[in-house]
């Protein structure tokens, strides 16, 4: 990671990602979140003690997507837990008791003739959070979910190395992917569909997918940052306090898209997830296929990676990933990578003074004057920090990565943004009206 040529911008690139996907054995228990933070949960359709089969419908998420059992066994608890981002959610824990007893599939007969409404209902029940919702659910949607949209961006690139999950769907599941894209084009109507692919696969993607925009991107983290990509494709910038949906943009992952067709054809719900695992004891990252809800402990022990106290286990990549508090954290739909850092390799950040070298400013993709904003955040001047643009931070993490004083710059940005949110929320309402 060390660079001799310091005048060059560091770029963290995807290398050596090809390799077989290894399917792991199902774990002894799975934990599945059945609610979303900030939403009232629905009651699950199973009870504690009930035996469930693999693929059985067990709950509906507030965003109207189904949750399904991913192993065959007994529901041992339904109660509060945490999702990967540390937010409190309702979870279902299932203990595996036997080999997979698959629930009888209900394949959709004659996909061409099915009506749009029926198709949407099936998709929602199968667990796909697509932005189109069937009429029956429409009145229960949140305000944001009802907003119209005109652009659909499908990410067939991963956010950061060494994750190699989304890009695989262009090669290994090409047929599923293609058929799904055709279906999405049909559902989307007038909306523009953009597929973001790594530039090495652009030719392949162009021959595979007709009638959609292919957006090839280069091979470094800055090129594959989702918010930067949205900005480059649509010229709309999504800040910290904003969401793409408010700008009429919907983002989907290639994995969701490819699995949709597969699941529709087979009539099965989605139980698997691809995850790239990396640890310094491994020669190269390994991509594994695991059940949704698998505790990370199971993955690490299956790959014979030992973790001891003081190590860091990160869901996601090394720059933007989220460190997990314990090994019972479970793989969810948004977990693309597991990154293990042994205690000896952990980087420590300090509140040492900034020496103004300007490396953070040079690397910042959105031109924040990171050295100044970091100081504002450090000394608690959050409003000034936000006025200087900390809300535009795309959280690529490169500012802290290059800082020779080891200042936690990206952490300061996030801190300022969250504190500013609290400041706004704590203001009396009448003051805002007066302004």
Strand-pair category, 272-278 with 73-82: unpaired
* Calpha distance 376→26 (Å, rounded): 49
Helix axes 254-266, 174-188, angle to 10 degrees: 90
How many residues in the shown chain lie near other proteins by CB under 8 A?
78
The 3-class SS string of 142-194 reads CCHHHCCCCEEEEECCCCCCCCCCCCHHHHCCHHHHHHHHHHHHHHHCCCEEE
Q: Percent helix, strand and coil across the chain, each rounded to 5?
A: 30, 20, 50
Select 214 or 416, whichever has its Cβ closest to other proteins: 416
User: What part of residues 278-307 is at the interface with other proteins (CB under 8 A)?
Assistant: 307
Select 55 or 161, whichever has its Cβ closest to other proteins: 161
* Calpha distance 44→258 (Å, rounded): 27
User: What part of residues 347-376 is at the interface with other proteins (CB under 8 A)?
Assistant: 347, 349, 352-359, 361-362, 365-369, 371
Q: Based on the shown chain and the rule CB under 8 A, indicate whether residue 209 belongs to the binding site for other proteins.
A: no
Binding test (CB under 8 A) with other proteins, winner from 198, 321, 337, 374: 321
C-alpha dihedral over 170, 12, 333, 145, to 10 degrees? -90
Q: Based on the shown chain and the rule CB under 8 A, indicate whether residue 277 belongs to the binding site for other proteins.
A: no
Segment interacting with other proteins (CB under 8 A) among 19-27, 90-98, 230-238, 256-264 = 230-238
Select 264 or 275, whichever has its Cβ closest to other proteins: 275
CB 32 within 8 A of CB 45: no
Closest separation in Å from C-beta 336 to other proteins: 14
Closest separation in Å from C-beta 311 to other proteins: 6
Alpha-carbon 319 to chain mean position: 14
Binding test (CB under 8 A) with other proteins, winner from 61, 320, 377, 416: 320
Select 225 or 253, whichever has its Cβ closest to other proteins: 225
Q: Based on the shown chain and the rule CB under 8 A, indicate whether residue 400 belongs to the binding site for other proteins.
A: yes
Alpha-carbon 239 to chain mean position: 17
Q: Based on the shown chain and the rule CB under 8 A, indicate whether residue 414 belongs to the binding site for other proteins.
A: yes
Which two structure tokens, joined as six digits, stand for 348?
């420590």
Binding test (CB under 8 A) with other proteins, winner from 177, 391, 416, 417: 391
Select 56 or 221, whichever has its Cβ closest to other proteins: 221
Binding test (CB under 8 A) with other proteins, winner from 46, 154, 398, 416: 398
Q: Based on the shown chain and the rule CB under 8 A, indicate whether residue 318 belongs to the binding site for other proteins.
A: yes
Alpha-carbon 85 to chain mean position: 11
Segment interacting with other proteins (CB under 8 A) among 60-68, 98-106, 277-285, 336-344 = 336-344
Q: Based on the shown chain and the rule CB under 8 A, indicate whether residue 76 belongs to the binding site for other proteins.
A: no
DSSP string, 244-287: GGGGTEEEEEHHHHHHHHHHHHHT----EEEEEEE-TTSSS-EE
Binding test (CB under 8 A) with other proteins, winner from 38, 49, 325, 434: 325
Select 12 or 205, whichever has its Cβ closest to other proteins: 12
Closest separation in Å from C-beta 277 to other proteins: 15
CB 194 within 8 A of CB 152: yes
Q: State the Cα angle at 227 between 316 and 248, rounded to 5°.
A: 125
Segment interacting with other proteins (CB under 8 A) among 73-81, 140-148, 150-158, 323-331 = 323-331
Binding test (CB under 8 A) with other proteins, winner from 224, 225, 324, 335: 324
Q: Based on the shown chain and the rule CB under 8 A, indicate whether residue 429 belongs to the binding site for other proteins.
A: no
Per DSSP, the three-state class of 76 is strand
Binding test (CB under 8 A) with other proteins, winner from 185, 312, 381, 419: 312
CB 303 within 8 A of CB 276: no
Q: Based on the shown chain and the rule CB under 8 A, indicate whether residue 141 belongs to the binding site for other proteins.
A: no
């Amino acid at each position: 990671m060390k660079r001799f040529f310091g005048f060059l911008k560091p770029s963290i690139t995807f290398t050596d990602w090809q390799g077989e996907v290894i399917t792991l054995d199902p774990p002894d228990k799975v934990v599945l979140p059945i609610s979303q933070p900030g939403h009232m949960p629905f009651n699950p359709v199973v009870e504690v003690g009930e035996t469930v089969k693999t693929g059985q419908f067990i709950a509906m998420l507030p965003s109207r997507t189904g949750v399904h059992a991913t192993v065959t066994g007994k529901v041992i608890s339904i109660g509060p837990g945490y999702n990967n981002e540390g937010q409190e959610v309702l979870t279902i824990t299932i203990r595996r008791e036997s080999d997979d007893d698959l629930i009888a599939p209900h394949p959709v007969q004659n996909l061409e003739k099915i009506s749009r409404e029926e198709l949407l209902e099936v998709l929602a029940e199968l667990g796909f959070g697509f932005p189109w919702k069937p009429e029956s659910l429409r009145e229960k949607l949140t305000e944001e979910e009802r907003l119209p949209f005109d652009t659909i961006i499908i990410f067939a690139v991963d956010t950061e190395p060494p994750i190699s999950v989304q890009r695989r769907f262009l090669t290994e599941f090409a047929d599923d992917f293609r058929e799904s894209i055709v279906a999405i084009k049909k559902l989307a109507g007038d909306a523009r569909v953009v597929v973001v692919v790594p530039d090495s696969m652009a030719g392949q993607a162009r021959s595979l997918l007709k009638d959609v925009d292919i957006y090839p991107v280069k091979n470094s983290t800055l090129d594959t940052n989702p918010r930067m990509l949205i900005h480059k494709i649509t010229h709309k910038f999504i800040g910290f306090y904003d969401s793409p949906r408010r700008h009429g943009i919907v983002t989907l992952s290639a994995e969701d898209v490819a699995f949709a067709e597969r699941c529709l054809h087979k009539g099965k719900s989605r139980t698997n997830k691809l995850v790239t695992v990396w640890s310094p004891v491994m020669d190269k990252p390994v991509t594994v296929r695991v059940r949704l809800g698998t505790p990370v402990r199971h993955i690490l022990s299956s790959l014979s990676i030992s973790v001891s106290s003081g190590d860091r286990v990160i869901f996601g990549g090394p720059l933007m990933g989220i460190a997990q508090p314990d090994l019972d954290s479970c793989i969810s739909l948004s977990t693309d990578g597991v990154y293990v850092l042994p205690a000896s390799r952990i980087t420590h950040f300090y509140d040492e003074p900034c020496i103004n070298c300007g490396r953070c400013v040079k690397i910042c993709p959105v031109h924040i004057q990171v050295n100044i904003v970091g100081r504002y955040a450090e000394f608690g001047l959050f409003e000034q920090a936000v006025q200087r643009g900390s809300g535009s931070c795309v959280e690529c993490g490169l500012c802290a990565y290059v800082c020779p004083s080891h200042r936690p710059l990206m952490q300061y940005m996030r801190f300022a943004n969250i504190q500013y949110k609290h400041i706004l929320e704590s203001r009396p309402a009448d003051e805002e009206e007066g302004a």
